[in-house]
Every structure is written in structure tokens, then in C-alpha cells.
Structure 1
Amino acid sequence: MPDPSGYEACGYETRHDAGDALHMHRHGQAYAALVLEGHYIETSVDGPIECAPGTLLLHPRYHAHGNRFGRHGARVVNLLLPDDIASTALRALQVPQLAEAAAVFRHGAHDLRALIDASQAAPIATLQDWQSAFLDELQHGDAPIQRIARHAGVSSEHASRTFLRSHGMSPQVLRRELRCRQALSLLAGSESLVDIAARSGFADQSHLTRTVRAATGLPPSRLRRQINCVQDRDVAAMR
């Protein structure tokens, strides 16, 4: 019988050929991806992540990412995450036993939380020193890209090439994605949309609405109602 919440308890497998690439995309639901075979690099605002057998990625809703597959391709099993497990930020983990983890994805999703708790944080790619400062200015400032690059000691062309390779996005797109992600996290609170727009670096509420709608297909007001419905349901379930 289908779960009335829309949650699917069984994973679904995807296969990718050698040298394949998935351009930047996003999913409307939070989901987990477990690498069974092969290798790929996932790029996003969180930086590059080396995905090898045993890597477990927990994607939040609307997380934008791209994938570059290695010379052996990859086989991945994916599982939609229920609301009580869904993360608000990308998490990269390494499972202790690949065979047992794969069985959880295929047959025992009720054990997913225990699997996550038993997993360790996956290694994080090291960025060049100037990239970290560049990203901080992108997220928290309004300076033009050329000026940020100059402060970092690189040309804007070099910055663009480097971030396209490491994060899959140009600096301008990274700025928009960073601001959009911050706004999405603030929608769970009670601040007005005007205040969320200001705190997230948008020019005004209209700018916020256009960006969020382009990323999610929904305006911030509707997304907020969805979040509130989920929170209310979770609170009711705890009583």
C-alpha cells in the first residue's frame, strides 16, 4: 500500500556510463544517494565531492549539483528521504559496510537513521586559499566579481574557470545559489519575506521571489506554507 505521505521506502538504482556528465540540476525532494560501483565527482556550492563506493550523500530539497563520471562510470542507489531525516544542508558520509548499507536502501529504509548515525564524515576537498575568501565575499557582500577577484589576487577569468571546475558554477551563479539557499533556510522561521530578502542579499522582495521561483518552481510564500505544514505534522506525530 502506498505511503500517504508520498514517501517511498525502497531505493531505485541508476547507472551512468564512463565519461557521462549530468549538468547542474536539482530535485524537489530530499534524497540520499549511495555509490555502489565506480566513481564520480559531484559539484555544487558545497565544493567538489569525490564519490566512490561507500559514499553516502544526503541532499536537501532543491540542492543544485552536477556530476562528472569517471572512466568506469558508476552505479548508484537512491532513496527519497522522509521529512524527519531530511537534512537542511548537503552531507557527505562514508558508510561502514557497503553491502549492509545497500540492503538498507533496497529493503529496510526504516534502518536508514541508524545507518546515517553509524557513518563517518567523508573527506572534504581542499580549496585554494583564495577560493574560500572569494566565496565568503560572494555570499556576504555586493562587490562586483571583478573587484572580488582583484582582492583575491586572481583575474576574473581565472576565478570563473576555477569555480566552474570545482563547483560547477560561475561566480555569478554561485552568488545567486548561495543567497537562494540562505533564503530557503530562513523560510522555516517567522521573519517577513522583506527581512529574509535583505538578510539573504537580495535587492528586494521581488528579487527574492523571482530567484526562489526560478529555483523551485514556487514562490517563497507557498514554500513557507509547505514547510509549516511539514513542521505541524511532525509536531502532531510526537504527541
Structure 2
Amino acid sequence: MDAPCWFETRHDGEAVLPTHRHGRGYAALVIDGQHLEACVDGAFECTPGTLLLHPAYHAHGNRFGRRGARVINMPLPDGVAPDGLRAWRVPHLDEARAMFQREPCSLAALLAQAMPCTPVELPDWQPALLQALADSELPIGALCRQLGVSLAHASRALARSHGMSPQLLRRELRWRRALSLLHGEGELSDIALRCGFSDQSHFTRVTRRYAGLPPAALRQQIKSVQDAPAAAAVC
């Protein structure tokens, strides 16, 4: 290997990374400091020893504590594609850090030792609203009223806990479902309809915005990774 495929990022105290996404899935190991990671999957308190698996093209944001944070990152090997943000706790930080730096492709060994983390506990109405945003076409204000919260309160609370407004969360949920369906063979027009986009053009615009490619090209990219030989799943 000519160069390591891991790299370290450093973040200032009280810094905020607005909601963003990456074109390739990656693993992140917190080695110092603290931050809160927020996305559709919930909010996770990340401290030294937290190992995060980020899927490709999924949105998340970060708020760093007073000391900031230092994080080691590496791309996920081909074939490793979690369906949402996954957080784990490694038992031995120094050992995990050395493994990242010495053998960054031995992610499976790290995960075999790690324990899953649970998201920050949230009020019951929040997961209920997220489920409704995924399943219902009712206006967001109506969904909030059904759950006994105002739209203004829901918007403020979800922006803090999940990094996005209810409207953006609904779009993200539709996008995630569409991204999952692009792994199959369904017609693009059917995917757009099943995922709640107004039409295929709407689906195409969102896909270009989130992935930088139209749906057909993104599907081909996904297929090329799926068809890659197992030996390619290394750094």
C-alpha cells in the first residue's frame, strides 16, 4: 500500500458542521473530544471510542463540544453499506486507533469487539412524526397536530435533534428509500412514484442535488460496486 487510506480531522470547540453528505460511505473513530451527530437516524453523543459507520449520500450534521474533537476517518470497503448511521463503542481506544492506522481494512475485527450505541432518547412524538413523514402524504402541520405538537415547536426540535426541518426530513426519507430501490431493477418512474416524488423529473433533480448524478448513472455506479470481486473490497 503506497499511502494510508485513513486520515485525521480536527474540529474547533463549539464548531458546527451544517447538514451535509458524502459520496462514499466511511467509518469515523472519535479519538478525542466530543460532538453530537444528528441525522434521520437520531442524535448520537460521540466521545472517544465511538465508531460511526456513515452510508454514502446520507445527510448528517455535527455540533462539537467545548474542546472540539479529533476523528480518524477511512472509506468503507466496497460491499459494506449500512442502511443508516450506525454507532458503536469500541472497548479499547488505543487498540482501535492503531488498527485504523496500521490495518485500516480490518473494520470487521473492530466491529466484532464493539457494542452498539443507542441514540439520544427523544420525546415519543419525534419518532412518531418521522414515521408519519415517511408513510403519509398529509401536510406536515396536520401530522404535527395529530401528535399534539405545533409545527413551529416540531421544526425547532427536529432541527436540533436531527439536523433538518420536517420538510427536509421528509425529502431525506424519500431519498433514502429511493437510494435503496436503485440497488434493484425497478423502473425509475416506478421508484419515483413509490417514494413520493411528484414525478420522475422531481426524482432526477433531487438525485442530482444529493448524489451529483442522474438516477440512471447512480444506479450504474451502484451496480459496478455490487459486481466488483470480493478482492476489490480493500483499501
Cα pair 2:10 2:69 within 8 Å, conserved: yes
| Matched pairs, number | 233
- How far residue 207 of structure 1 moved from its aligned partner, in angstroms, is 1.3
RMSD after superposition: 1.7
Task: For residue 69 of structure 1, give the secondary structure of its aligned residue in structure 2.
Answer: strand
Taking structure 2 as the reference length, what is the TM-score of the superposition?
Answer: 0.94
Higher relative contact order (CA 8 A, sep 6+): 2
Over the matched positions of the two proteins, sequence identity in percent amounts to: 55
Aligned match for 2:96, one of 73, 97, 101: 101
Which runs of 5 or more residues in structure 1 are unaligned?
3-7
Q: C-alpha separation between the residues in 2 aligned to 1:117 and 1:222?
A: 35
Match of 2:188 in 1: 193
The one of 106, 112, 121 aligned to 1:117: 112
Q: How many Å apart are 1:110 and its aligned residue?
A: 3.0
Q: Measured at CA, do residues 106 and 237 of structure 1 come closer, stay the same or move farther in structure 2, by a change above 3 Å?
A: closer
Give the gaps of 5 or more residues in structure 2: none
CA contact (8 A) 2:79 2:226 kept: no
TM superposition score normalised by structure 1: 0.93
Q: SS at 2:57's partner residue? A: coil
**C-alpha contact (below 8 Å) 1:33/1:78 kept by paired residues:** yes
Q: Does the 8 A contact of 2:6 with 2:74 survive in 1?
A: yes
Q: Take 2:231 and 2:115, find their aligned partners in 1: how far apart are those partners?
A: 32
Match of 1:38 among 22, 33, 42: 33
Of the three residues 125, 132, 147, the one matched with 1:130 is 125
Give the match for residue 80 of structure 2: 85
What is the Cα deviation at residue 235 of structure 1?
6.7
CA contact (8 A) 1:10 1:105 kept: no
Q: Does 1:220 align with 2:205?
A: no
Aligned to 2:145: 150
Query: 1: distance between equivalents of 2:232 and 2:124?
Result: 46
Report matched runs for 1:173-184 at 5 Å. 173-184=168-179
Q: Match of 1:5?
A: none
CA distance in structure 1 between the aligned counterparts of 2:210 and 2:30, rounded to whole angstroms: 26
Q: Which amino acid aligns with 1:108?
A: E
- Counterpart of 2:10? 15
Q: Distance in 2 between matches of 1:9 and 1:61?
A: 21
Task: Measure the CA separation in 1 of the matches of 2:151 and 2:202.
Answer: 25
2:200 matches 1:205: yes
Deviation at 1:87, TM superposition (A): 2.4
* CA gap 1:230/1:57 in 2 versus in 1, 3 angstroms: same
Q: 2:35 and 2:163 mapped to 1: Cα distance? A: 13
Tell me what 2:69 maps to. Answer: 74
